[in-house]
Structure 1
Amino acid sequence: MLLLWLSVLGGYGVGAVLTARAVFERGRTGFLGTASGRSLAEFERKERPHIEAIALFSGVLWVTAVPLLLLRQFVARVVLARPGHGGRDAQQVRARIDELERALGVGAYAADDSRRRRG
């Protein structure tokens, strides 16, 4: 019985350590891999404590964190999706903005509207 408890606790500990390391590496890579060219020193100074805290909580709660990490895309698109953004692509959004600017006479169509008023 004692061996069973120790193996369960050991398994939980291994899962926690592996999850915390994976979350930390993902956070560090995300911070350093941005287009702004952030340095490792900036990461150590500004972001390390925050990412360590997130990794610690993810490690402790690895039983729920691992499925969420595996289903990250699903969670990002369905659970965290902003209402009203039905997955439109950029072309549809640009066409809609153009249509609204034309109707309101703003943006590129502001000059056309002022010409019509003068003439």
Structure 2
Amino acid sequence: MAELDLTQYLPILLFIAIAAGLSAAFVFLPMGVSRLTGSHKPTTDKLTEYECGFPAFEDPRSQFDVRFYLVAILFIVFDLEAAFLFPWAVSLDLTGWPGWITMMIFLGELAIGLAYAWKKGALEWE
């Protein structure tokens, strides 16, 4: 039976150890320095709302309407569609008719998905 030579894994383990050490240093070192230098002094002014400018009027753990997520997913899908259309259009002379037919099938599937979401009212914002 052949012996297993574990010394081949030493560079990988060394790389993982260095990456973990640097990651921990980048996370914990700034927090420790801020504690030591005294910049961590929370006051009421520092703890006020800064993103929207007014206090929250609901519980922050309240559930969003599922339509919010549907609109976000539809935006991502059609954004990716636009990202796929440009390389396809540039390489259309290389792909020829099979590439054109494949993209039309893809666009048809997306159109069916959009019609379905529209019919279900996913795009209605109340």
Q: Greater CA radius of gyration, 1 or 2? A: 2
TM-score of the superposition, structure 1-length normalised?
0.29
Which structure shows the bigger proportion of residues in helix conformation? 1
